[in-house]
């Protein structure tokens, strides 16, 4: 579908069909999770996966967006485009980040772009350019390399699930090895405070339940979005505490979002 110019009716139906196909492809996995969740068995399900440990080994410590189409490494929205600059630079330094990536079609960059003055909007032209520029600027300030602009495909968020990660080492390039579908990941462990991380969970839920994601296919009752909390041993990032944070965000989305979780292996 051309980015600019008129959209043909056939493009619209092709896109709608594609979104539906991606949604349906995950139905079996999600249905199993819904049923485990209802029976209170999702925690045990994950904790009994023999290869679970392997998912908590990062291949690199570069920052990427929380987006489901930016696999691997550490995750903050944009990345770090929605927090104030000092907090962003501090996050990159504190976590010993090895680099930073931006990506196409970033909803966090789109929000930040909207907040710019008209002059600045004209200067950057579009959210994509701004997201790229911002990541480069943060790289320079934190003295780490800018790694590039990830081409995020398809042109919509295809996740029915978000991982709220208290360990900071959950690797979303290995989702399939533990039977997980595409997922947003918020590296809660490395956000300076709960509020900043919760704002990013809310952003993921907004994307997923709007036309940027699966929209109305996410329904209360039958096909809710799932926040999967990964608790750590430390009290500050315990399963209970992070479940409370996630539930607080989920509340704003009516019954469309359910929360469950497990404790990461030691």
> What's the min distance (Å) between Cβ of 79 and Zn ion?
8
Separation of alpha carbons 29 and 63, rounded Å: 28
Q: Which residues, numbered 35-74, are part of the site for Zn ion (CB under 5 A)?
A: 65, 67
Of 83 and 108, which CB lies nearer to Zn ion in the complex structure? 108
Q: What is the DSSP letter of 40?
A: T
* Element counts in the chain: helices (H) and strands (E): 9, 8
Size of site (CB under 5 A) for Zn ion: 4
| Other beta carbons within 10 Å of 154 | 12
Tokens of 161: 């699930």
Of 200 and 260, which CB lies nearer to Zn ion in the complex structure? 200
Q: What is the DSSP letter of 223?
A: B
Q: Which residues, numbered 119-178, are part of the site for Zn ion (CB under 5 A)?
A: none
Is position 83 an interface residue for Zn ion (rule: CB under 5 A)? no
3-state secondary structure of 225: strand
Q: Which stretch binds Zn ion (CB under 5 A): 7-15, 104-112, 136-144, 182-190?
A: 104-112
Q: Cα–Cα distances in Å, from 200 out to 77, 119, 162, 245? A: 6, 27, 11, 12
Is position 258 an interface residue for Zn ion (rule: CB under 5 A)? no
Of 30 and 106, which CB lies nearer to Zn ion in the complex structure? 106
> What's the min distance (Å) between Cβ of 37 and Zn ion?
27
> What's the min distance (Å) between Cβ of 67 and Zn ion?
4
Q: Contact positions toward Zn ion, by CB under 5 A? A: 65, 67, 106, 108
């Amino acid at each position: 579908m051309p980015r600019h110019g008129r959209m043909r009716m056939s493009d619209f139906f092709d896109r709608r069909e594609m979104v539906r196909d991606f949604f349906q492809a995950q139905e079996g996995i999600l249905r199993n999770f819904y049923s485990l969740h209802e029976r209170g068995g999702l925690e045990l399900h994950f904790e009994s996966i023999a290869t679970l440990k392997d998912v908590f080994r990062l291949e690199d410590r570069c920052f990427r967006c929380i987006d489901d189409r930016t696999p691997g490494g550490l995750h903050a929205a944009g990345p770090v485009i929605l927090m104030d600059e000092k907090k962003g630079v501090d996050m990159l330094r504190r976590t010993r980040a090895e680099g930073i990536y931006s990506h196409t079609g970033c909803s966090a960059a789109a929000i930040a772009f909207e907040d710019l003055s008209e002059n600045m909007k004209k200067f950057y032209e579009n959210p994509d350019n701004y997201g790229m520029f911002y990541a480069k600027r943060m790289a320079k300030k934190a003295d780490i390399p800018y790694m590039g602009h990830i081409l995020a495909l398809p042109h919509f968020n295809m996740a029915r699930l978000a991982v709220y990660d208290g360990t900071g080492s959950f690797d979303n390039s290995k989702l399939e090895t533990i039977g997980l579908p595409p997922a947003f990941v918020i590296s809660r462990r490395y956000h300076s405070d709960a509020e900043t991380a919760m704002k990013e969970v809310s952003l993921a839920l907004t994307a997923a339940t709007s036309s940027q994601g699966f929209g109305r296919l996410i329904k209360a009752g039958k096909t809710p979005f799932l926040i999967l909390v990964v608790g750590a041993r430390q009290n500050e990032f315990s399963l209970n505490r992070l479940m409370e944070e996630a539930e607080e965000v989920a509340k704003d989305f009516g019954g469309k979002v359910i929360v469950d979780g497990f404790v990461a292996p030691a």
